[in-house]
Amino acid sequence: MLNFIEQSELYLPVLLQGVYLTVLVTLGGFVLSTVLGLVLAFMRVSGIRSLSAISRVFVIVVRGIPALVTLFYIYFVFPDLGLSLSAVQAAILGLGIAYSPYMAEVFRSGIEAIDRGQSEAALSIGMGWGMVMRRVILPQAIKVALPPYGSTMVMLLKDSSLASTITVADLSLQGKLLASSTFENTTIFTLVALLYLAMSLPLTAFNGWLEKSLRQPR
């Protein structure tokens, strides 16, 4: 145990350098997947057949491709098409696209869980579709969608480690490089696991608190 603590003091500063990129890729992918997911969900429930079909096909296709392949395609194939991105940009874009179908299904299920009679009543008094969504549907749908939304956020944090496969020097890559040079596999990968846990636990706790506060009667 004493040896582990001594080694941790030596290796932790190096691993913390990768935490910054892990957080950056996670936040970027999270924001992008949320925005794309909302757009796809709105397209799906818009009642316009063409938009609904496009959204459905996008969700099916992207969800059927592993996130790792999506990252490889963006980082290695896009330059052949004339679009070169940095490793971090490719990681954010890839994870954002890969997770957008899951976000879309979370938002769609939340919207469709609300009684249709409420939207029909709001439309009957002159509200537009956009206002109905903002003032009637979304405030209630958020409460339904929040638990799976929070779980997806934690999953994205863990899958941000895939960025290391396209040379992003995140926490997982820093751990791998450090272990290969020191051969202290047990200490280093234990620290990597603990750092991921330290990042995911606050997200889980915050999501639980937010979910509880939103469900309290006002």
Question: What CATH topology corresponds to 2-215?
Answer: MetI-like fold (1.10.3720)
More confident site: 137 or 22: 22
- What are the tens digits of pLDDT across the range 168-205? 988 898 999 888 888 888 889 999 999 999 999 988 88
pLDDT score recorded for residue 198: 92
pLDDT score recorded for residue 2: 61
Nearest partner of 174 among 28, 9, 20, 67, judged by Cα: 20
Domain assignments of the chain as residue spans, ordered by start: 2-215
The stretch 121-134 carries a mean pLDDT of 71
Query: Is 115 a residue whose pLDDT tops 90?
Result: no
pLDDT score recorded for residue 1: 59
Query: Is 130 a residue whose pLDDT tops 70?
Result: no
Query: Is 19 a residue whose pLDDT tops 70?
Result: yes
By percentage, how much of the chain surpasses pLDDT 90? 46
- What are the tens digits of pLDDT across the range 94-108? 999 999 999 999 998
Give SS3 for 215: helix
pLDDT score recorded for residue 123: 67
Using pLDDT thresholds of 50, 70 and 90, give the confidence band for residue 27.
very high
Tally of CA atoms within 13 A in the half-sphere of 191 that contains its CB: 27
The Cα 186–Cα 71 span in angstroms is: 29
Give the chain's mean pLDDT.
86
**Helices assigned H by DSSP within 46-184:** 49-63, 67-72, 87-112, 116-124, 129-132, 138-159, 171-182
Matching residue, tokens 């709105």: 42
pLDDT score recorded for residue 185: 87
Tally of CA atoms within 13 A in the half-sphere of 131 that contains its CB: 9
Query: Is 218 a residue whose pLDDT tops 60?
Result: no
- Which residues are within 8 A (CB) of 124 and not within 5 positions of it... i.e. 6 or more apart? none
The Cα 15–Cα 156 span in angstroms is: 20
By percentage, how much of the chain surpasses pLDDT 70? 93
- What are the tens digits of pLDDT across the range 57-101? 999 999 999 999 999 999 999 999 999 899 999 999 999 999 999
pLDDT score recorded for residue 21: 93
The Cα 31–Cα 27 span in angstroms is: 6
Query: Is 163 a residue whose pLDDT tops 70?
Result: yes
Nearest partner of 97 among 172, 166, 28, 168, judged by Cα: 28
Phi then psi for 84, rounded to 5 degrees? -100, 130
